[in-house]
Structure 1
Amino acid sequence: MSTGPEDGLPDLRARLAAYEGRVAASAGVGKDPVNEPMIRHWCEAMGDTSPAYRGPDAVAPPTMLQAWTMGGLSGHTDRSEAYDELLALLDGAGYTSVVATDCEQEYLRPLRPGDPITFDAVIEAVSERKTTTLGTGYFVTTRMDVRTRGELAGTHRFRILKYAPRSRANRPNPPTPRTESSAAAPARRPRPVVNRDNAGFWEGVAAHRLLIQRCTACAVLRFPWLPGCHACGSQEWDTVPAGGAGTVYSYVVMHHPPFPAFDPPYAVGLVELAEGVRIVSNVIGVPYDKVRIGMPVRLEFLRVDAELELPVFRATAEGEG
């Protein structure tokens, strides 16, 4: 039976659940209206050159949705006390660390320069107690509805984990070499997050096909998979299979932290495919310290356990097809 820092506080889960549905921010106002300088800075940082974000008919990149609601260093004055109370309750129960885990966004109408921003936020959910690699804690999800001129422009869900870090004695140890007599089950690789936007990619991997999205309006290829085209904004697309050839565009060598199912050091490459898009994956077939920028690689599919296969890239000899 798992234990946590709140043992002796049997009503904690009920107290946390009481915050579900409570207002986290009410009638918030964006510190700036949608504006061209912020759009330009965002596009430069993202390397997004779409003409849709420039000129007299420009719209803001949809993924900027949260940016228009941020309070900066001075924060917002319209934040309710409920969210701070919830975090304080978790702090008091021993869950003093926090990490952002993921966000989900839904876009309902485009935002244009000059649009004023208002928003409301609610504490949507507090999970049951969960045990993770970092430690034991609770996932807290907030939902923010972003509006302009009275219309709902989009919804942003943001999830954090408030947790108690594992004690040093209970942290995973670096992987040790396995022997034929070892009876311990191998650690499982983390599972990829599969959603409606990328399910087709993982179906392709299961069939040993690396599928690249192609906009059917302007024929631009894109990877990773996205709901819409970064070049023209169209939401219509099909796929083309990658041929498998590529080169190492950049790479890192992972030494730390040790993590179950991984055996550092190992090389993680940003591979540029012959089709022109780039993908992050492991570079195999050579020692980690022999990986080099420009090295030719070839796509393979690696089965890491009974349920999971992943695309990886094996170093090849120069000129090998």
Structure 2
Amino acid sequence: MDDELHARLKAYEGRPAAVAGVGRDPVNAPMIRHWCEATGDRNPAYTGPGAIAPPTMLQAWIMGGLSGHEGRAQAYDELLSLLDEAGCTSVVATDCEQEYLRPLRPGDEVAFDTVIESVSRRKTTKLGTGYFVTTRTDVRVGEALVGTHRFRILKYAPNRREQKAQDRQERPRRPRPVVNRDNAGFWEGVRRHRLLVQRCTACDTLRFPWLPGCNACGSAEWDTVEAGGEGTVFSYVVMHHPSFPAFSPPYAIGLIELAEGVRIISNVVDVPYDKVRIGMPVELEFRAYDDEDGELVLPVFRPRAGEVAA
């Protein structure tokens, strides 16, 4: 049965998921500026007359917004429907990969095509059993290929434990952070209730999130300093929709500027979402979630005593 289904799924490989898509806006300086401000990236290559766009913005130029893009191909919807019929009704994004061939510059108008690159055999995961579906998007300016974006999802049938939680309308566990060789030290610090910030040992520049090299001088040598925990709300959003398991909207997500000068994204807690304000002084708290299978510890921020807006 599985072989028969997989053969039907494999038939979709190479078929289009989006055809002749066009970016909603040309590459432009305001979006580059907003991106760099949000990420704290001060690389001079992204400003001035000869500026380029940060390579990691590749997907930003082709996003379709809530209404999506014209040109979505029927094959992708058919593939997802086939998986739904097989009981794989849940979906989670697992990872993405990007390749950059040349920098994008303000004024470039991007176009793209997306194909269904691969469908895995049936896999068993902690979430349940299902199939990994990978799409590949080729991004072009004119006839020139400038980058490739691969995006992978898991369409799966929830396992008994997850399904029982859904049936009982129990709150699922929060998503776990993706820990890799570049950020493992940060999460080990969080586990010990320490908020560690990288510091370049060549130029003393602090950086967050953790990166393998300094974005100021390029050095790969670094150590850490422990943040004191005080900061202010630099910006924030209130999540109403879409809703995610383990979270109860509406809730505030803040871009917190720490006293040390770097910024971190986290939840703003212990204050009504409509009382959060830009400039609000906040302080760090390490909060434990999900006591099943070991606690998840996360750094969150609460208003400093006496600072809640009236």
Select 2:55's aligned residue among 56, 62, 68: 62
Equivalent residue of 1:103, what SS?
strand
Give how far 1:275 is off: 0.8
> Does the CA contact (< 8 Å) of 2:286 and 2:297 recur in 1?
no
Structure 2 match to 1:240 = 224
Select 1:123's aligned residue among 117, 120, 140: 117
Amino acid at match of 1:39: N
Select 2:197's aligned residue among 212, 229, 249: 212
Structure 2 match to 1:156 = 149
Select 1:192's aligned residue among 177, 194, 211: 177
Structure 2 match to 1:173 = 169
Structure 2 match to 1:182 = none
Structure 2 match to 1:53 = 46
Q: Is 1:105 aligned to 2:70, yes or no?
A: no
Structure 1 match to 2:294 = 306
Structure 2 match to 1:75 = 70
Equivalent residue of 2:56, what SS?
helix
Structure 2 match to 1:16 = 9
Between stretches 220-229 and 196-205, larger displacement belongs to 220-229
Structure 1 match to 2:80 = 87
Amino acid at match of 2:28: I
Distance (Å, rounded) in 2 between the aligned partners of 1:282 and 1:118 = 36
> Does the CA contact (< 8 Å) of 1:209 and 1:242 recur in 2?
yes
Select 1:297's aligned residue among 280, 283, 291: 283
Distance (Å, rounded) in 2 between the aligned partners of 1:29 and 1:103 = 21
Task: Give the TM-score of the pair, scaled to structure 1.
Answer: 0.60
Distance (Å, rounded) in 1 between the aligned partners of 2:149 and 2:81 = 23
Distance (Å, rounded) in 2 between the aligned partners of 1:151 and 1:208 = 49
Give how far 1:277 is off: 2.2
Equivalent residue of 1:89, what SS?
helix
Select 1:42's aligned residue among 26, 31, 40: 31
Give how far 1:238 is off: 2.7
Amino acid at match of 1:156: H
Q: Quick one: percent identity of the two aligned structures? A: 56
> Does the CA contact (< 8 Å) of 2:131 and 2:156 recur in 1?
yes
Equivalent residue of 1:38, what SS?
coil
Q: Is 1:276 aligned to 2:261, yes or no?
A: yes
Structure 2 match to 1:202 = 187
Distance (Å, rounded) in 2 between the aligned partners of 1:198 and 1:108 = 26
Distance (Å, rounded) in 2 between the aligned partners of 1:252 and 1:65 = 23
Amino acid at match of 2:207: R
Deviations 1:3-54 (A, max 9, x none): xxxxx9883234224445x35379x77747xx9x523142244254654224
Structure 2 match to 1:183 = none
Deviations 1:111-162 (A, max 9, x none): 34577867664523346367898x9864422133556799875431213455
Distance (Å, rounded) in 2 between the aligned partners of 1:119 and 1:143 = 10
Amino acid at match of 1:40: A
Distance (Å, rounded) in 2 between the aligned partners of 1:164 and 1:89 = 13
Amino acid at match of 1:158: F
Distance (Å, rounded) in 1 between the aligned partners of 2:205 and 2:219 = 12
Could you tell me which runs of 5 or more consecutive residues in structure 1 were left unpaired when the two chains were aligned.
Answer: 1-7, 176-186
> Does the CA contact (< 8 Å) of 1:298 and 1:316 recur in 2?
no
Could you tell me which runs of 5 or more consecutive residues in structure 2 were left unpaired when the two chains were aligned.
Answer: none
Distance (Å, rounded) in 1 between the aligned partners of 2:106 and 2:250 = 47
> Does the CA contact (< 8 Å) of 2:266 and 2:299 recur in 1?
yes
Distance (Å, rounded) in 1 between the aligned partners of 2:27 and 2:53 = 9
Distance (Å, rounded) in 2 between the aligned partners of 1:213 and 1:258 = 31
Deviations 1:194-237 (A, max 9, x none): 2344333223334543222346776553333356666x584746
Distance (Å, rounded) in 2 between the aligned partners of 1:169 and 1:200 = 33
